[in-house]
Structure 1
Amino acid sequence: MIEKSFLTDKRFPELTELDAYWTALKGTRDMPARSDVNPRGIEGALSHTFVLERIAPGTARIRLAGQRLKDLMGMELRGMPLTALISLSDRARMEQLIDQVCTCPGIGQITLYAEQGFGRPSIEARMKLWPLTDAQGRPKRVLGGMSFRGAIGTAPRRFMIETSSLQPIGGLGTPERAEFADPAVPFRAAPRSDHRPAGKVSYLRLVKAQ
């Protein structure tokens, strides 16, 4: 289950806004469609928002990304894998969670901290992933949000995963499940012991999605 503290942490308000928006969009369905998402409904979180397309097991590409995420990498993110934001050692773990978000299906949450070095101060971050259906009704799209505290410093910034978990929402029995030898199941990894302290809150900048 998703921890209450993750949902109510006021340091990361963009995730709270996105969670409420996704929940309102889905109504009585298991999940909303990608076509339901309107940037005007999430203006307070838009610069921290992204949309993924899962094109194969272990492969999800960024189709839209807010300006604050582009700032983290110092470049345009469209067409890149979400794992471009993740340290090499944790990329397989992120790919597994994205797969589970789409195949379980479920809502994923991740706590992260940035790799540090000269010109790269500490950053504490939270990411959340909500499944969306495509035009054929398949859960192959993901609405994501990444909120962070700390100065960006010198881009690109990449992040280590501290904890990750999945909250299944159930309901859809699709051919996607056959891509795994065993059914997708919730998982939670033990926290790392080398957690980095958070820095100051960075300012937000609203960016209109194309």
Structure 2
Amino acid sequence: MAGADRTIETGTILATSASATSYTLVEHAPEIGDPRLSDLLRYWCAKRRGRSVPAYRDIDPIEIPGLLTYLWIHDYDPESERFRVRLMGEAVRSTYDCPVVGIDVEDLVTQAAYPVVSERYRAVLDTPAIGHGRGRIYGHTIGRVGGGERLYLPLADDEGHPRMILGATIYKLLDDPQAAAAVEAGLRPDTMSPVAVL
């Protein structure tokens, strides 16, 4: 039911040994703040063409030039249950100190962060759902706190199975402790909106 504000399920996942983070499955479209991410969602929806999830072959990053530097695509291999980086725009890639295309996501994030990332990605593919987060970005993955917003969307393979994630992350790394503390104070769980609500 679009526009509803009722939470229908919460999944809690271990972020570190000292704390937990969660995602919330909701019955409404994500509440996106950055207009560039709204553009990405509209683009993704247009590519659905009556299907639950658009296919990877239907996505052309050149069609959304304002987002190229923020885009990323991760593949999911159901046999190994691992995610691998297929594409990463420069603004996102620059947060890492190594080449990232072709690398398993598990090797890009901290050991404590991977269960969080994997659980959220699996929710996006298995539901399928639209993942959205705002607040702390990268705090548990690269060990530096950033503030921003992220949208991650399922893509189907040639057989129609959701096997990839198209995402965009717009952020600013926060080296100032006060700014980082403010982001931490405003932290809210990621939401997962089932594609059926759109």
What residue number does 1:70 align with? 93
Task: State how far apart, in whole Å, the 2-side matches of 1:110 and 1:85 are.
Answer: 19
> 1:113–1:69: structure 2 CA closer, same or farther, 3 Å change rule?
closer
Deviation, 1:149, is 2.4
Listed one character per residue, the Cα deviations across residues 36-93 of structure 1 (whole Å, up to 9, x for unaligned) are 0012211000110011111137521110110111111033211223355544323202
Task: State how far apart, in whole Å, the 2-side matches of 1:152 and 1:40 are.
Answer: 32
Alignment of 1:175-194 (within 5 A): none
> 1:134–1:61: structure 2 CA closer, same or farther, 3 Å change rule?
same
- After superposition, the CA RMSD in angstroms is 3.1
- 8 Å Cα contact 1:14-1:48 kept in structure 2: no
Task: State how far apart, in whole Å, the 1-side matches of 2:139 and 2:128 are.
Answer: 30
What residue number does 1:176 align with? none
Structure 2: segments with no counterpart, 5+ residues: 1-25, 177-183
SS class of match (1:110): strand
What residue number does 2:126 align with? 103
- 8 Å Cα contact 1:108-1:130 kept in structure 2: yes
What residue number does 1:59 align with? 82
Q: Letter of the 1:62 partner, please give it.
A: V
Deviation, 1:16, is 1.9
| Equivalences, count | 159
What residue number does 2:193 align with? 167
SS class of match (2:121): helix
Alignment of 1:1-210 (within 5 A): 1=26, 6-7=31-32, 9=33, 12-56=34-78, 58-84=81-107, 86-111=109-134, 112-115=136-139, 122-150=145-173, 163-170=189-196
> 1:85–1:78: structure 2 CA closer, same or farther, 3 Å change rule?
same
Provide TM-score, normalisation by structure 1: 0.64
Provide TM-score, normalisation by structure 2: 0.68
Task: State how far apart, in whole Å, the 1-side matches of 2:122 and 2:30 are.
Answer: 25
% same residue = 20
Structure 1: segments with no counterpart, 5+ residues: 154-159, 172-210
Deviation, 1:110, is 2.5
> 1:2–1:129: structure 2 CA closer, same or farther, 3 Å change rule?
farther
Task: State how far apart, in whole Å, the 2-side matches of 1:2 and 1:50 are.
Answer: 26
Task: State how far apart, in whole Å, the 1-side matches of 2:39 and 2:89 are.
Answer: 15
Deviation, 1:140, is 0.6
